[in-house]
Structure 1
Amino acid sequence: MLRRRPSLLIRPELDDDLLHATLAELRPALQLHGLGAGSSRPVWEPAARLLRATGWDWDRRAHRVSVLARNIPAAIPERWVADRPGHGDALLLSACAAVARVPVGDPAAVRQAEQACLRAADACPGDPTPWLALFSLMRACAVPVRDAVPVWTEAVNRAPWHRGAYHQMLGYLSPRGHGTLSDMLDFAWQSAVQAPHGSPLAVLPVAARVELGAHRQGLTGLAAIGASGHWNELRAAEELDRALSGWFHTAVAPHAEAMTDLNLLAFALTRAHRPAEAALVLRRVGRHMTRHPWDLLPEPERAFLYWRDGAAG
């Protein structure tokens, strides 16, 4: 008999099964407009339970809060804050939800989101997540990088080598954000060199090179010539070697967005014509495809399955 190929899991929670279960618990609230009608427990209880279980794992906390903020009704964190005024987790989720939904052309809404981030920071003094939310808001509002750096520094002072913080800064420095190619590439390279062995920041230069490709892909005319040639550069090979030896082949426990980094690394290895190493990475990825960076290809899922199934074979 023919065996059915398992479907891909393309989801914001990645391989976080506890986060996935929490989102599923909150789904009925979507039908009730987040009000929890007919239930004896607060509608926000699954989110509260998840964040209690996360504890001080700042990397995983930032990932979980970000996914919740973007994928649950705004009424849930609003109700939580109303029921538990001053509660740190409630204020944090409410602030992140406000940032995720803020219309940047509305100065009053931006100001409210900013104040929500600062209230969450006061309530969670050791947590970098409110500062990362504020940093994200500043990026959305096109605040110059130099003015946003102090906010980013508040986050990394609380959690040195925080994976999410460095990727946020990378996006800020990108020419598709508010920076330049040289700023972005230099930041990624220096961060990877300085980060401790086993840190996922070893993959940051690879992420920057993927972003470089995305930038060049959006160009037209003469500027677009050789848009993919950067994968053949000597420095690209050095970056991939560093990512493999400095993170992939180490014995460190997986971080919250490991699947994102694995997809970045696998994609880059296929672009650099290193299929054997790409196969090793894709075996670890399994079904957990991320939309980016495969969306840089004409048929993302087909391309992913081509390389992934080749790895399995």
Structure 2
Amino acid sequence: MRTELDDVQLGRVRRQLNSVGRLGPDDIQIDQVERLLQEAGTDWDRRGHRFAVLAEAAATSTFARSWRRRRPRSADPLVFDAWVELVRGRQAGGMADAWAAAECCYRAADAVPADPEPWVVLLGILRLMRAESRELFAVWAEVSARDPWNREAYLQMLRYLSPEECGSRSSQLEFVETLRASVPPVAPVVGVELTALVDEHARTTAKGGVEALMARRQWTHIRAAGALDTALATWPREGRLRHAAALADLNLLAYALVQAGRVREAGDTFRRIGDTVTAWPWSLDGDPLQQFGYWQAKALA
């Protein structure tokens, strides 16, 4: 599985970060990361995707701290260090020093006011801390002012508003309804509604018993069927989805079609995906590669 999806340059740098040992990175590795982020320019969607993938890759090494020591006044190393701490915190179920990571975000935001990324990372930190909703919505407003359709920010808010975290099913639905009424058809956040539906399906299945057996009926309801129909009619078209995580959203669509019993209709989606498999949502049902391979073969048979 390639977390970089179809970003070839990102994949090369990610593999370099995976090789960073206990002695820390060399100057070439730091230069590669800096160049990769600079090349994204003000394409906030691409830049955010690269930050997230590289932070995952650097979470087991000393890269982030080494980069900060080399560039103590630069915004990108500050954001990256906070991202890495957030990744570690998610893995551990809590952050060792959330406020220090948050301070990195504030300092980066002061240094580069137009950049939404410090606020995106801060949103993730506050979500992990189970902060009050007014704090999260204030930070989300900062992201939206800089990048109105920031995929990561919307997904963070969606999960924060879920029954499993600090919200409820109704608050999550209200959030999705607001998004549906205004989102452009090819914005990076087009997959948020389908994400909510897959989360709801997984929630129902996890309950077991009769509810789990009837989970597939969820996809016949007007809201769910409509979301699937709309996505199926547009997303698999060549060049339709251009955001950095487009292949992740196509994986999401393929999975939703499988759960809805519409496997035959998923053929074009599986063809567009090719061999770029994402861990989520396939991991909900077992080994992602096995699940994807099985259903892709079924859809293309």
TM-score normalised over the length of structure 1: 0.86
CA contact (8 A) 1:283 1:311 kept: no
Give distance in 1, aligned partners of 2:122 and 2:169: 24
Return 243-252 or 93-102, whichever deviates more.
Answer: 243-252
* C-alpha displacement of 1:202: 3.1
Kindly name which structure, 1 or 2, has the bigger radius of gyration based on alpha carbons.
Answer: 1
Structure 1 counterpart of 2:97, from 96, 106, 109: 109
Contact 1:202/1:246 (<8 A) preserved = no
> Structure 1 regions of 5+ residues with no counterpart?
1-9
Moved more, 268-277 or 130-139: 268-277
The C-alpha deviation readout for 1:203-258, integer Å capped at 9, x for no partner, is 32211110101222232566656333312212211111222345444844521111
Number of aligned pairs? 298
Q: Which piece of structure 1 moves more, 10-19 or 127-136?
A: 10-19
Is the CA contact (8 Å cut-off) linking 1:192 and 1:204 kept in structure 2?
Answer: no
Between 184-193 and 216-225, report the one with greater CA deviation.
216-225
2:7 aligns with 16
Among 72, 89, 96, the residue aligned to 1:85: 72
The answer to whether the Cα contact below 8 Å between 1:44 and 1:77 also exists between their aligned partners in 2 is no
Which amino acid in the other structure matches residue 34 of structure 1? Answer: G
Q: How far off its partner does 1:267 sit?
A: 0.9
CA distance in 1, matches of 2:107, 2:300: 49
- Give the Cα separation in 2 of the matches to 1:283 and 1:215: 29
Check whether the contact 2:205–2:213 (CA below 8 A) recurs between aligned residues: no
Counterpart for residue 206 of structure 1 = 194
Q: Is the 8 A contact 1:96 1:117 kept in 2?
A: no
The structural deviation recorded for 1:201 is 2.9
How far the C-alpha of 1:179 sits from its partner, in A, is 1.3
* Structure 2 CA distance for partners of 1:200 and 1:243, relative to 1, 3 Å: farther
Q: What CA distance in whole angstroms lies between the structure 2 residues aligned with 1:241 and 1:175?
A: 26
Per the alignment, residue 17 of structure 2 pairs with 26
User: In structure 2, which of residues 26, 33, 38 is the aligned counterpart of residue 52 of structure 1?
Assistant: 38
- Which ranges of structure 2 fall in alignment gaps of 5 or more residues? none
Paired residue type of 1:205? E
- Provide TM-score, normalisation by structure 2: 0.89
- Is residue 186–residue 242 contact of structure 2 (8 Å, CA) maintained in 1? no
Read off the aligned partner of 1:33 and give its amino acid letter: L
Q: 1:250 to 1:184 in 2, by over 3 A?
A: farther
Matches within 5 A, 1:296-307: 296-298=284-286, 300-307=288-295
RMSD: 2.3
Aligned twin of 1:118: 106
Q: Which SS does the other structure have where 1:201 is aligned?
A: coil
Report which stretch shifted further, 207-216 or 140-149: 140-149
Q: Which residue of 2 aligns with 1:63?
A: 49
Shift of 1:278: 1.0
Q: Report the equivalent of 1:4.
A: none
